[in-house]
Amino acid sequence: MKSKKFVCGERLQRFLMAFMMIVVLMLLANGATTIALALLAFLAIMLFIYGVFDFCPSTWMLNKLFGSCYCECKEEE
């Protein structure tokens, strides 16, 4: 069941991915193509790992720190 809290692991991971894409776009706009392409390759590799193995290290770490957005809470049934 989806949690009502705003700060949770999966949601923060999506914000982090969006922030990284904005950083890549800003670097491309400023002419730092090598750094931007390296970050974009990193994002693509992490998404590939998540797709193949169904494991995302950033989601795992953020869930440990902030908790999951999906819980088995008795009060939410």
Q: Domain residue spans in the chain?
A: 9-76
Report the alpha-carbon distance of residue 72 to residue 75 in Å, rounded: 9
| DSSP conformation class of 2 | B
User: pTM score, two decimals?
Assistant: 0.72
Give the total residue count for the chain: 77
What is the rounded average pLDDT for all residues in the chain?
A: 85
Q: What is the pLDDT of residue 77?
A: 46
Residue whose entry in the numeric block shows the structure tokens 């193509």: 33
Q: For the segment 18-27, what is each residue's pLDDT rounded down to a tens digit?
A: 999 999 999 9
Q: Which residues of 24-35 are buried (b: 16+ CB within 10 A; e: fewer)?
A: beebeeeeeeee
Q: What is the pLDDT of residue 58?
A: 86
Q: Is the pLDDT of residue 71 over 90?
A: no
Q: Is the pLDDT of residue 60 over 60?
A: yes
**What's the mean pLDDT in 28-51?**
92
